[in-house]
């Protein structure tokens, strides 16, 4: 199955939801016009389709293997990475200071989506490197930045995030990797980390590990965690590679999916201690790590969109070719119809397409706010935008990755029995997608983050203004009175009302009964995402002529998927007690 980057859909989403056309006039990116953005996305689409997509199936079949402490990536991966670096793709989203191209999130996000649609195992490597670059930029000393960032931005060296230990996952408090101060200002790192993506591989000459560890005199819990840079090879004063550091890959996990992406057990200090450099302040490592995590969360959302897009393309192509039964639209003569003509198959394909496009729009809306947040003209503008980005980030991460699984599973279903056969390729998307709701903060954590930290931003003003913004769009849909929109305006109005009352419930419940609020966090995140996604789709559809396929998608979403908001709002407001009623545990005794 050939992947084609959906450039038209991407650009449409950028224009209608992320105000791409206003970028120049707004002064945000005076150097960048919409045509340039489109050109970059087209080029990325070519690279993804021609270089990365053909390696997706072979990467799955062969996987990355550990042999004598070395990780061998599947055939073609190292070469593709070399071309990726040569093409300057690694530097695209990085700031100009260290050689980056300084392109905005609005470009980086769709480009990341394309890498991950083409090959999610490959796409993880630059995604993690990006996160590491962000953290070093934010907290590293000038010397550390000068030594490591140019090579990382160029893609010659890749980056990793070393958080998890067997006993410390979602809760990093109990992590036990140790860091001891050395007389020369460096630190000696000792401990074991698990689930380290691209912790070891053969695609780059050096690997820069960012490692959370605890100083001997650190306070317990998350307030005693520091962040260290631990390179695979130490770097000499002249920038050349020096000695091998005391860090090894001790194992590669046997996983459900993303087989080509090595998930490593990393051992630091098996031979006396790995040399590490402090990033940021001692005991403040979690703050730096969150910078990295937050950027990565939007990136993981874009992975979800990418996998969903790929699964949809695959299923649509199959449904056009595969013939079974006779559809109502078939004319009297001839044999069987392509299954895409059957209503139930159409429902599945429309669901796939509509969910994918809604998630894409949520991700791009988040990216836009990040750009304004970074480059807005005044502090108030920047702060408001960063708050909106913070509000949207858990939606972008959790909704996009949840729907990636739903879409990939529908993709298997559309293929019938062939979907269960691995050669078809549909099953790989499902296996690959399954990690996305788990890593970079599980989707449950995202929902808790949304409810406890994001709804309360700026005293609740951020979410109130956000809902008002959705309301303005919905008012326009109502005012348009377009018959081709079907019941879209009605469903959007109901959904917003459901979201408003659920948000109010959260605001009233959280202070006095936080556990009850958390019991409803997951359905709340889903209903907010559906309402935002449905509104964005309709906003885009309003710019389209009557009978446009984009109108059909927005309408399908409103009439068939957005309807779920009503149920979810009821569950949020009246279902939490029954989550908690059995707090003494008899149900699971």
CB under 8 A: which stretch of 179-187, 367-375, 386-394, 520-528 binds a copy of itself? 520-528
d(CA 496, CA 493): 5
Name which of residues 328 to 357 contact a copy of itself (CB under 8 A).
328-329, 335-336, 340, 342-350, 353
Least Å from the CB of residue 344 to a copy of itself? 4
Least Å from the CB of residue 526 to a copy of itself? 12
- Angle formed at CA 227 by CA 224 and CA 230, multiple of 5 degrees: 140
528 in contact with a copy of itself (CB under 8 A): no
8 in contact with a copy of itself (CB under 8 A): no
| Strands 157-162 and 206-213, bridge-based pairing | parallel
Closest CB to a copy of itself among residues 244, 347: 347
* Beta carbons of 305 and 360 less than 8 angstroms apart: yes
63 in contact with a copy of itself (CB under 8 A): no
17 burial level (CB within 10 Å; 0-12, 13-18, 19+): buried
Least Å from the CB of residue 432 to a copy of itself? 10
540 in contact with a copy of itself (CB under 8 A): no
Closest CB to a copy of itself among residues 228, 485: 485
Least Å from the CB of residue 418 to a copy of itself? 8
456 in contact with a copy of itself (CB under 8 A): no
| CA proximity to 403, closest of 357, 471, 467 | 357
511 in contact with a copy of itself (CB under 8 A): no
Token pair for 457: 């931003």
Concatenate the DSSP letters of all residues of 6-36 into one string: -HHHHHHHHHHTS-TTHHHHTTSSTT--HHH
Name which of residues 143 to 182 contact a copy of itself (CB under 8 A).
164, 167, 169-171, 173-174
Q: What radius of gyration, in Å, describes the C-alpha atoms of the chain? A: 24
439 in contact with a copy of itself (CB under 8 A): yes
Query: Is 50 a catalytic site residue?
Result: no
Closest CB to a copy of itself among residues 111, 260: 260
Residue 159 DSSP SS3: strand
Residue carrying structure tokens 């509104």: 535
555 in contact with a copy of itself (CB under 8 A): yes
Site for a copy of itself (CB under 8 A): how many residues?
A: 103
Q: Which of 54, 416, 469, 471 binds a copy of itself (CB under 8 A)?
A: 416
* Beta carbons of 227 and 210 less than 8 angstroms apart: yes
Closest CB to a copy of itself among residues 284, 487: 487
| CA proximity to 83, closest of 106, 55, 61, 103 | 55
Q: Is the dihedral of CA 323, 327, 330, 332 positive or negative?
A: positive
477 in contact with a copy of itself (CB under 8 A): no
- Catalytic, out of 440, 515, 564, 570: 440
Positions marked active-site: 440
């Amino acid at each position: 199955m050939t992947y084609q980057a959906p450039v038209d859909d991407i650009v449409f989403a950028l224009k209608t939801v992320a105000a791409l056309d206003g970028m120049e006039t707004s002064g945000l990116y005076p150097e960048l016009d919409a045509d340039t953005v489109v050109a970059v996305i087209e080029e990325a689409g070519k690279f993804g389709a021609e270089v990365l997509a053909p390696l997706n199936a072979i990467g799955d079949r062969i996987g990355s293997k550990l042999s004598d402490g070395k990780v061998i990536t599947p055939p073609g991966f190292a070469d593709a990475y070399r071309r990726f670096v040569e093409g300057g793709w690694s530097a695209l989203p990085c700031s100009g200071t260290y050689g980056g191209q300084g392109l905005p999130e609005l470009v980086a996000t769709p480009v990341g989506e394309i890498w991950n649609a083409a090959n999610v195992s490959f796409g993880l490597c630059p995604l993690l490197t990006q996160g590491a670059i962000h953290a070093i930029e934010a907290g590293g000393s000038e010397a550390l930045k000068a030594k490591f960032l140019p090579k990382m931005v160029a893609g010659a060296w890749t980056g990793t995030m070393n958080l998890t230990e067997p006993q410390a996952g979602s809760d990093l408090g109990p992590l036990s990797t140790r860091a001891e101060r050395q007389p020369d200002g460096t630190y000696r790192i000792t401990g074991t980390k698990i689930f380290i993506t691209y912790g070891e591989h053969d695609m780059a000459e050096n690997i820069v590990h960012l490692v959370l560890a605890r100083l001997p005199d650190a306070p317990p819990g998350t307030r005693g965690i520091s962040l260290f840079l631990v390179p695979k090879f130490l770097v000499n004063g002249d920038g050349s590679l020096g000695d091998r550091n005391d860090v090894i890959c001790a194992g590669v996990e046997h996983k459900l999916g993303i087989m080509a992406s090595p998930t490593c057990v990393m051992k630091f200090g098996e031979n006396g201690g790995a040399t590490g450099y402090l990033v940021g302040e001692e005991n403040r490592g979690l703050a730096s790590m969150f910078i990295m995590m937050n950027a990565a969360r939007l990136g993981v959302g874009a992975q979800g969109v990418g996998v969903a897009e790929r699964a949809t393309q695959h299923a649509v192509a199959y449904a056009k070719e595969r013939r079974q039964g006779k559809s109502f639209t078939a004319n009297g003569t001839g044999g069987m119809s392509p299954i895409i003509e059957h209503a139930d198959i159409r429902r599945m394909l429309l669901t796939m397409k509509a969910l994918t496009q809604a998630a894409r729009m949520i991700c791009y809306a988040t990216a836009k706010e990040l750009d304004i947040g970074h480059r807005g003209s005044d502090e108030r503008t920047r702060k408001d935008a960063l708050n909106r980005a913070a509000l949207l980030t858990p939606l972008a991460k959790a909704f996009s990755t949840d729907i990636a699984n739903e879409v990939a599973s529908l993709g298997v279903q559309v293929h019938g029995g062939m979907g269960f056969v691995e050669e078809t390729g549909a099953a790989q998307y499902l296996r690959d997608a399954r990690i996305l709701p788990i890593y970079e903060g599980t989707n449950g954590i995202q929902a808790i983050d949304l409810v406890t930290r994001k709804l309360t931003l700026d005293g609740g003003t951020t979410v109130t203004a956000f809902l008002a913004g959705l309301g303005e769009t919905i008012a326009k849909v109502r005012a348009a009175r377009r018959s081709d929109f079907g019941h879209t305006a009605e469903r959007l109005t109901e959904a917003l009302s459901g979201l408003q009352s659920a948000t109010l419930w959260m605001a009233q419940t959280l202070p006095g009964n936080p556990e009850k609020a958390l019991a409803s966090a997951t359905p709340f995140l889903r209903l907010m995402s559906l309402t935002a996604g449905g509104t964005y789709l309709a906003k885009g559809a309003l710019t389209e002529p009557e009978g446009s396929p984009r109108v059909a998608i927005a309408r399908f979403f409103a009439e068939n998927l957005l309807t779920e908001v009503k149920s979810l709002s009821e569950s949020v407001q009246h279902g939490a007690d029954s989550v908690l009623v059995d707090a003494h545990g008899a149900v699971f005794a």
